[in-house]
Structure formats: C-alpha cells, structure tokens
Structure 1
Amino acid sequence: MIQPIQRELAEQAYGRELDLLARADRRPRPPNWRLSPWAVSTYILGGTLDDGTPITPKYIGRPRLIEIAIATLTTDRALLLLGVPGTGKTWLSEHLAAAVSGDSTLLVQGTAGTSEEVIRYGWNYASLIARGPSAEALVPSPVLSGMRDGKLVRVEELTRIPSDVQDALITILSEKLLPIPELGQAVQAVKGFNVIATANDRDRGINDLSSALKRRFNTVVLPLPATPEEEVTIVTRRVADLSRALELPAEPPAAEEIRRVVTIFRELRGGLTEDGRAKVKSPSGTLSTGEAISVLNSGLALAAHFGDGRLAAEDLAAGLTGAVIKDPVQDSAIWQEYLETVMRERDGWGDLYAACRELV
C-alpha cells in the first residue's frame, strides 16, 4: 500500500504545469535546462499559455527580481537569495530548481555542524578500509551530483555554515571543478550546473561570506511584501495550499481574518499603525509573511479539531501570541501595550482583543 506523502516536492505538486510549459515552450533553452528562461519566469510569476491554460503564480512580488535571479543562473555566477526569515527564499529556490532542472532534491542544509564532506564528497568507510580509495567507495555530495548531471544545487542558510567550510565552494564556483586528490581525479561540471544559496540577513556576523566567495555570487534581496494587498494575496494562496495538503477539515478563513493577521504583523514590524497616526513598539521577532501563514494554519487546525470548523478569534489568538512573544519579558509588554492602545480601540476587533487578552 502506497502511503500518502505529507509534502510534495515542487516538481510533483506542479508537475502538470511544468509539463504544459515544456510542451508550449519554443524559446531557446540553456544547456540541460528543462525550460527556457521565459518559461521559468512564467512558471514562477504565473501567466496564461496560448491555449488559455492558466499557470498559477508561485511568487508574488517584483517581477524584475525574478528575472534577475533567472538570468543569473544562465551565467557562470551563482545566485544568493537574501532576506529576512519568511520572505520565501527557500520556497523560491525550490521552484527555480524544479523549473530549471526538474529536480529540487539536490540540497545542502547549512548548520553550524555542516562539514566539508557535505559540500565536496565523503566515503563509505567499510569499502574504504577493505579496498582503499576507489570510485565505488566515494559518496557524492549533492554538489558533486549536480556537477555531474548539470543540475541546480540548493544551499540553504549559507551563512550558518562555518567559514572554512563555505570556502570549499570557491573552486567549485570559479573553476567549475571539484578535485578528488585521493583518486587522482577531478570532476568538471556539466553545463547546466549552478548553485542557488539562501541566507538570512539577520544572521550577518555569524559566518560572513569571505570576499572571495561573495564575488562568486550575484545577490538578489527578497523584500517583505510592499503593500497589505500583496501580503494578503500571498497569505491567502499559501494558506489554501497548505490546508489542502494537510487535509484540514475546516472552512477556508474569511478574508477579514487574514487581513486582521496581516495588519497586526505589518503594524508591529513597521512600528506604525495602518492609518499612520500612532507609533507602536516592535517586538524582537521578524513577524514575517511566513509566520502569518503559520498563525492562520494553526488556527485552522484548532477550528477543525476543537471547534466547529470555522476559524474564530480564539483560534487565532494562540498563534498570534506565540508569534509575537519570543522574549517573555520585553515582547510580552509590547504585545500588551498593542492590545490596549490599538486593538482594543479598533471597531470590530473586540472578539480578537478579548481572545488575545485572555492569554497574556
């Protein structure tokens, strides 16, 4: 019996769209690209094919940023997606890899414990001890596999990787070459290989990139949504997608509930109320679009399993409180002040104010 997958890869979830784009695509494609740059852009930003088939947008924001990112991947420079948490860096890198290579699984997850083997290669030690260094004993990294197959490789949280390990990428990105001195060989990258890295700009100073490595990347900064309407659209789409994937037996949240969450997040992170009349203090957390999506999905889970299936104020309150209060002292005071000076005075928000007030 085939078990249901909890989360489909981008190339699985949107395989039909990728196939339709590939069949309709008549523009030049770089070597080993599944789609042309134009078709990749259409897949990411959404559009309509000549036969009227709609392509759903995967990223809502400035189209020029996406065009720059895609164009970078056609050159000899790698791409660095930079931004605060929750701006869609990982989501975008996955969809770019799916559209360009048809494979988003060549992934290096950066942590403080990431070793050079994860970027270069490792060994099957049983085989190594028995027969010595050999091609059979070599365990390729995602980077090495991407070089051999001419595919995109994703490196998540690049600045969390120790600096000396980061620098293992320098020769790979500049020379498109990975020496394997134990075998007296070197792997040359097949055309189509490139790297998409992501980094959280709040991690600056943890493991800053060396100047040599920075020169190998073209950086695209992904901003937070420019307008409330844009952010509401993003949250609405992603909440609907995740609710379907998680099979939550709850009604989709009303537009007003989504707008309330987005408004709270934008006001607290911006330090100003929506009408511009009052300043508010900002908590220590980022309060990103991604966190707004999580708050709404958590609320839907509560409504589905412990309520009547309709998202109510009390379902949102727990998620909101948890998202805002990261520091139990400082953030708690900021949240209480916001509740009393802003939310309490806002028409039609009495239910949400009361639900939040119970939890602080």
Structure 2
Amino acid sequence: MDTYILGIESSCDDTSAAVIKNGILLSNVTAGQAVHMAYGGVVPELASRAHQQNIVPVVSEALRQAGVNKEQLNAVAFTRGPGLMGSLLVGVSFAKGFARSLDIPLIDVNHLQAHVIANFVKEPGEESDQPRFPFLCLLVSGGNSQIIKVNAYNDMEVLGQTIDDAAGEAIDKCSKVMGLGYPGGPIIDKLARQGNPKTFTFAKPHIEGYNFSFSGLKTSFLYSLRDWIKDDPDFVEHHKTDLAASLEHTIVEILMDKLRKVVKDTHIKEVALAGGVSANNGLRNSFHEHAEKYGWKVYIPKFRFTTDNAAMIATTGYFKYQDKDFCSIDLPAYSRVTII
C-alpha cells in the first residue's frame, strides 16, 4: 500500500509544501517573501502575515503538482521549530487543522534535523547516492553553524557549533555593511566568483575544540572597511569582488579547518553538507577538493534543497512515519532548541 506524506515548512520567510510517495518526492512548492528586501532582513510580523496568505495556495499547488487528492494522504509532517514563532504558528496551526479534518496522524519535525535529512531526498527516476550511518554533517545556515555526527535519522550528536554568530549571519551582515542588499549570501557568492580570495586578510579566531566563532571576523571586516573607506570613499565599489572573495575564503577556511579536525579525530570520512550556506559555491568546491585530497566521501544536496524547503520536512516525516513516531495535536511550536 502506498504511503503519501504532506510536508509543511514555515520556519522563517518561505512558505513551502511538498508531497512524498513511498519516500519519492512528487512535488515541492515554495513561496518566498520579497517584502523583506526593503528592510535588509526578515521582519517577523510581516513574515507571519505573508505565511497566512500563502499557506493555502502553496499546499493546494503541491497536491495538484503531485497528482494527489488530500484524501490519499497518510500523514502531515510539519516544522515545529526552531524558527520565528509567528511564522511557525501559521504552519503548525494549518498542519493541525488539516490533519484533524482528514483524521490522519501528525508528525512534528525539527527544522535543523530536516536540513541534514535533505541529503536523503529522492526524486523520481534518479539514483540517489545517500550517506551511510554514521556520517558527519556540516550544517551551515543564517542562524546555525554546527558539525554533527549522524548515527541515524533520529540520532544526531552536535560535536561543535558557533559560540556567537553563524556563518550565514556573518555573510549577511558584511554584505549589508558593503551596501550590497539582502539577502547577502547569494550576492557575495556571485561576486566572489569574479574576485581574488587572497587580496584581503581578515581575522580568524582561535577557538579550542570543534566550536566556531564568526563575531571576530565580522568586526575585523567592519573596521578594515571603515579604514579603507577613509582613504577612498568608493573603496567598496572598486574592490567589491575581491572583498567578497576574501570574505568567503576566510569563512570557508574557518569551517573546513574544524571539519578536518573532526574527521581526523573520529575517523569518519563520510561527510555531508547541509543548510542554506551549503548553496555557496566556494564551500561546495572546498568539499570536493577535500574529497580528492583526503579521501572523503562527500554528499551535497541539490541547490533547491539547501534553503528552507518542505521536501526535507516530508522526507523526515516519511522516516518517522515508518517508525509510527507521531505527535499529539496539543504540542506547541518552539522558537529555539538544539538539534537533539
């Protein structure tokens, strides 16, 4: 008998719905929110209002593209947290009402775990190369930077993480200081492809163990830029490609230095990448270089599964459905939590 899972993601500013049949992705629909660009960052109140407008048409379109009637669904998986509380409440409330109306189980999903599970998304007619347990995963996004040991889909251990800013947050803030716009990640990535990563040097913190720190890099970038602009008011415009390339290179070096240490200490050479910053070309290229140099077996999700999306929620939900790991309708959303 076929198993159909509807996944719903609404943790930040993307409203997304996906349908999976027997572990195979049938549809993945996402509505973004351009309204935040004028503010240089996500405005929580505006985000929740946009989710309210988008949730019904996005779910309807996901079902239509999948060719599935709502009565065929076996369960509804939804992002319970972490994320923006107002945004989460829209997705959580819709999922609860939808599942109740169909009298089918609810499956709560940890957003960070789902980013890791994005490496297991299967599409029709494709042979997917998936990580074997246990493997290591570098999860890098706007709000999180973690090295995770993945023993099973529901057994993940954080070995190292940022002690202050996340890598994606540092990129966005440096982009804002340069006046490049929001979101900063894709802009920096595009400019970095045209620049010299060795032009400028920025501070790299020395943190014991496997943890990261990016606040010092951000401060170093800000102060350096301030001094350079004193001598040349148009410094950013004249050097923006080299600035982007040097910033990206420094962040990638910080991440990969720690990841190499973990691989060496754990002897685990199956290494995956996840999170929004995993769309960055410099980081993806560094992963492939490390695979060739150190004999790692690396796994990187397709670009459309790196940012917030419901395909990863539905895939996680499918795994949990097989274990009958359902949740009660009274479970609340949560804004902050570890990956555990």
Q: Using structure 2 for the length normalisation, give the TM-score.
A: 0.27
Structure with the largest fraction of strand: 2
**Higher normalized contact order (CA 8 Å, seq sep 6+, divided by chain length):** 2
Please tell me whether Structure 1 or Structure 2 has the larger radius of gyration of its CA atoms. 1
